[in-house]
Structure 1
């Protein structure tokens, strides 16, 4: 209990500090950094963060993502499905090419670099990597985190720059997109039960990222069938980010990294190249469907649907198109990438270990 309380204090301190300094995603990055530092500094009281804290956060995030799956986004996805498939595949192939180059230059195992280069969400990729034997979680998480940080800081600078002809509007920030606590009841009770049950069921049948995908699918089905689900208060989403950020921070083992400066430099370069590749794909998307440059760029950048949607609102981009492209890529990565990685790892890893090193949870 003492170890848990100490870790909780670290997480709260990190989130508060990063909020004060106006950091992007303060309740994800703040607890992550403080948990990382606390694990290195505190020798007598080793930080502890149970996995069920992370699982709880995944259920909350799964509900939030599933709630965004509306008939509007479904219609948009139906109309532009071929383009979505093509753009998603091109982005994944580009990421694979980056991982091959990174592996050659750094000397790191290709499976670890490949997992770290997949343009999915940080927490989702961590869960996926935990189910994959033979993956160095520290290197994988470091690569994913460095890409996330670059996107968090670079994309807003680009999207609000004269390059896209954008200026920040006076609309309210992230808090305006979420409901108040009193708006949750009574409908949230039904969704809470459904999300927990679907998460446990998905885990029982060994579904990949069960605590995220189970609630996501169940919420989407209920929402599309006409059952209104309340938007979550920003405070609850902050809590979920803190739970995941702290967990990820304790997973990081920077002392195990070899050639730290070289790997860091290559990670920064690969992140910049990925953003540049997304920019090139956005030009193609804009010409194919006549959407604005800002809409196309926010649709292609692998930065997460929530963050890209907020920026789309502030820049007056087409939120429906941005959301459906981001959502489609998220679902594609969740369902298509695990079996593809399982197949690929059979050829990448030694033949004697192929069966054991395959993607376990899939």
Structure 2
């Protein structure tokens, strides 16, 4: 594919994404500049006559912008709050992952797909890590893992906003942190150049050391360090955050490729069904979190929702939830999945293979 063809395909995809964002804004869909481009590109890519293309560099730029916005929320007070909640973060993360492992067992039985493949495809919040992990483990169907992970993320991105904007969450109010952020909207200043440089450097350092979601996590860490050191960063105008959502949404629309899947109808139904059950279970866990801590329902639910840290952070910003708390929980689960889950899965799969070899032949 030559450069000229890529330019034409990108312009077509850009038009679709803009159209989706405008339409979703007009009909008042939640987070329109994330869901609109994603939906339009997803639908457009299903037509063989439409060739879509969205450079990953654009998605990465959007993640850097979002990472900067999240990093600003990590004040000293917010970090202390998160530190106090680390035990409950660990407990609820383990419970959620164990529940997803149980769902994977039933999906495996109903679909006829081997359990290791369904299990890796069902781990919440670790799309990139689980797809990479599936490439390293012998016998796992990468296509099914990718489809399950992407389907879950897309379904959650659509479902969670409608739950958040529903009647149960209408009683939420802006957190103290977000009120401060809304009031203290500093204009763009030369300081932003320093923060921008730090965000980009940290993103590429994260990529170099192969950290999870480096273009989100790197800027968050870099911005948080500068913020905690006493250097205030300027808050971004709303159109910049809409732009970051647009950059991410256009890329997400390209991920789902049903044509590469066998028995797609059955697996699609099971994927959406299991994702729906995961969301309901996380909603139940969020009630537990509200019981022990004085946080709003939206903050609690988004903290435990089995989606990606970037998508939940976008939603948290839109509904004025406690951005630091939501991101803290999501990133903790992301790091837990990155460092603890793959070794555990390797051990489980190794034990399973050994048990199969030890079974006597009848």
Normalized against structure 1, the TM-score is what? 0.79
Alpha-carbon distance in 2 for matches of 1:292, 1:210: 29
Unaligned runs of 5+ in 2: 1-6, 354-362
1:103-133 deviations in Å (ceiling 9; x for gaps): 332234545544543443xxxx444345332
Tell me if 1:204 matches 2:221.
no
Question: Which of 70, 85, 93 is matched with 2:90 structurally?
Answer: 85
Question: Which of 56, 63, 71 is matched with 2:61 structurally?
Answer: 56
Q: Is the 8 A contact 1:73 1:324 kept in 2?
A: yes
Q: Is the 8 A contact 2:54 2:251 kept in 1?
A: yes
Q: Is the 8 A contact 1:35 1:249 kept in 2?
A: yes
Q: Offset at 1:140? A: 1.9
Q: Offset at 1:262? A: 2.8
Q: Is the 8 A contact 2:41 2:254 kept in 1?
A: yes
Normalized against structure 2, the TM-score is what? 0.79
For residues 133-282 of structure 1, the aligned pairs below 5 Å read 133=135, 135-136=142-143, 137-160=146-169, 166-167=170-171, 183-282=187-286
For residues 57-136 of structure 1, the aligned pairs below 5 Å read 57-110=62-115, 113-120=118-125, 125-129=126-130, 131-132=132-133, 133=135, 135-136=142-143
- 1:153–1:48 CA distance, 2 compared to 1 (3 A): same
Q: Is the 8 A contact 2:73 2:324 kept in 1?
A: no
Question: Which of 312, 315, 326 is matched with 1:307 structurally?
Answer: 315
Q: Offset at 1:339? A: 2.6
Q: Offset at 1:179? A: 9.1
Alpha-carbon distance in 2 for matches of 1:128, 1:249: 19
Aligned to 1:356: none
SS in 1 for 2:165: helix
Q: Is the 8 A contact 1:77 1:325 kept in 2?
A: yes
Q: Is the 8 A contact 1:180 1:233 kept in 2?
A: no
Alpha-carbon distance in 1 for matches of 2:335, 2:24: 34
Tell me if 1:28 matches 2:34.
yes
Please tell me the root mean square deviation across aligned C-alpha atoms, in Å.
3.4
SS in 1 for 2:340: helix
Q: Which moved more, 1:85-94 or 1:51-60?
A: 85-94
Unaligned runs of 5+ in 1: 161-165, 314-318, 354-362
Q: Which moved more, 1:12-21 or 1:93-102?
A: 93-102
